[in-house]
Amino acid sequence: MEHLVAGFIAGDPDAVRAIYQRFARPIATVARSVVGNDQTLIDDVVQQTFTKAWQASHTIDPGRDLAPWLYAIARRTAIDAVRYERRPTRGDHAPEADAPVGAPTMEQTWEAFQVRQALDILPEDERTVLLLNHVGGLSHSEIANRLGVPLGTVKSRSHRALRRLGSSLQHLQNSPANRLDPADVSFGRELP
């Protein structure tokens, strides 16, 4: 991973693509969580997250996990995007009034980022079953018909996938310290 990060910092296109392919979907998940179902805005957030990350990439320690850093950039970029989209072109009310209402919390988006990472490393056949079930709304029988595989195969893939996800995300359950804890950070308003 370190050589990829070094390549990313240097602007090597192969490294940029590798980093993109590894993190673009989790970043899209954060973006979707914050901006809602607006594909243009999601794309904007993904694109800007990477460019902002690259612009600040001289601050990256190649030995550290990029995920929390990219997540933080993505979430902030998404929140800014929503505010910008909702900002009135005129009027005198405070920008705070334009902040998204009911936006997911930091813990929720960080959890979603990690769940998405875990989803992305599932075997494709298992991931497809989960996708058709949870997004497509198909029953296991319908999935079996769609994929042309036995019902038992669909059930086993689903079961394995969920157990694999549960295992890989165990830290979210057992180690609350691994979650981003708002108590550990301050976010007092800073004058620019």
Partner 1 sequence: MTDHIPPGPGPESEPLDPWSAHVAGLLDNPALWAEPSPGVEDQVVAAILAGAAARPAPPNRPAVPGQPDPSPSAAPFSPDLTVAAPFPAQPSAGPTTDPPARFDPAVTGVLPPDITGAVGPASAPGPDAGAAPVVSLDAARRKRRPGGWVLGGLATAAAVAVIAVGTLAVVNRDGGLDGTKVELAGSELVPEASAEATVQPQADGVRIVLQVTGLPPAPPGSFYAAWVVKEEPRTRIPIGSFHLRGGGSDQIELWSGVSTDGYPVISVTRQSEADPAGPGEPMLRGRLGP
Q: How many residues bind partner 1 (CB under 8 A)?
A: 115
Question: How far, in Å, CA of 56 to CA of 31, rounded?
Answer: 20
Q: Tell me: does residue 72 bind partner 1 (CB under 8 A).
A: yes
| Residue closer to partner 1 (CB basis): 130 or 138 | 130
Residue 139 CB, nearest approach to partner 1 (Å): 14
Least gap, CB of 27 to partner 1 (angstroms): 8
Q: What is the Cα gyration radius of the chain?
A: 19
Contact 121, 26 (CB under 8 A): no
- Rank residues 138 and 180 by Cβ distance to partner 1 and give the closer one: 180
Does 65 bind partner 1 (CB under 8 A)? Our answer is: yes
11 contacts partner 1 (rule: CB under 8 A) = yes
**106-120 vs 13-35: helix crossing angle, rounded to 10:** 130
Residues 180 and 187: their CA atoms lie apart, in Å, by 13
Site for partner 1 in 108-127 (CB under 8 A): 109, 111-112, 115-116, 119, 123, 125-126
Ramachandran assignment for 160, one of left (phi > 0), alpha (psi -120 to 50 degrees), beta (any other): alpha
CB of 49 to partner 1, least distance (A): 9
CB-based burial label for 53 (10 Å; 0-12, 13-18, 19+): buried
Q: How is residue 38 annotated by DSSP?
A: -
Binding mask 43-62 for partner 1 (x = CB under 8 A): xx-xxx-xxx-xxx-xxxxx
Contact code string over 130-169 relative to partner 1, x by CB under 8 A:
xx-xxx-------------xx-xx-xxx-xx-xx-xxx-x
CB of 143 to partner 1, least distance (A): 13
Q: How many CB atoms lie within 10 A of CB 84?
A: 12
